[in-house]
């Protein structure tokens, strides 16, 4: 039995969830999101709860039970409150700024790195060393944060680079004489 899938997803006020044609759609104040569902699970909306059940007792159906429940939960949370990822920049002269529809990063290269901000995603830099990425789609926010981090991942000797705010960089000792 799935530990995640057996719990129903609560629908907050102002959010509507519809199930039609193997697709779950959630609409709320932050927009509309949808995700496809497989025939291995059955999604039902009862009042202000969304429940997920497997249609068969196969390994695939049991695997998709918890996955589908997590995807529906992410849809509901995304359209109601949204998601946020914070990135920190460490290093002398390393900084970020939002200029128009681009994120401009100075990461020690000979040129500034320009990252176009996609539609439906908001970025702001309260400090030159902190980037806040917000949006309603959890997968998309994580993908964008990963792409920005990939420009200069944190290195283990001095800790310089772009890292997640919750990430800890394992530091190494340098060369000895």
Domains, the chain: 9-80 (3.90.930.12), 83-164 (3.90.930.12)
The partner residues of 52 in beta bridges, in order of sequence, read 43
Q: Which pLDDT does position 1 carry in this prediction?
A: 67
Chain segment 7-62, per-residue pLDDT in tens = 999 999 999 999 998 999 999 999 999 999 999 999 999 989 999 999 999 999 99
Which pTM value belongs to this model? 0.88
Q: What is the DSSP letter of 94?
A: -
Condensed to tens digits (0 to 9), the pLDDT of residues 108-166 reads 999 999 999 999 999 999 999 999 999 999 999 999 999 999 999 999 999 899 999 99
Cα–Cα distance for residue pair 164/148, rounded to 1 Å = 10
CB-based contacts of 36: which residues, under 8 Å, 6+ apart?
22, 23
């Amino acid at each position: 039995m799935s530990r995640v899938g057996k719990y129903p997803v609560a629908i907050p006020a102002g959010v509507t969830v519809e199930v039609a044609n193997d697709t779950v759609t959630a609409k709320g104040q932050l927009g509309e999101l949808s995700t496809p569902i497989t025939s291995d699970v059955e999604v039902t909306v009862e009042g202000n709860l969304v429940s997920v059940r497997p249609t068969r007792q196969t390994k695939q159906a049991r695997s998709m039970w918890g996955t589908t429940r997590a995807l529906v939960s992410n849809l509901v949370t995304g359209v109601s409150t949204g998601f946020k990822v914070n990135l920190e920049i460490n290093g002398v002269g390393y900084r970020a700024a939002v200029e128009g529809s681009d994120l401009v990063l100075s990461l020690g290269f000979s040129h500034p790195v320009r990252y176009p901000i996609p539609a439906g995603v908001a970025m702001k830099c309260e400090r030159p060393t902190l980037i806040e990425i917000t949006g309603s789609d959890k997968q998309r926010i994580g993908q964008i944060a990963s792409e920005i981090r990939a420009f200069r991942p944190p290195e283990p000797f001095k800790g310089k680079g772009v890292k997640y705010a919750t990430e800890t960089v394992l530091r190494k000792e340098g060369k000895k004489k």
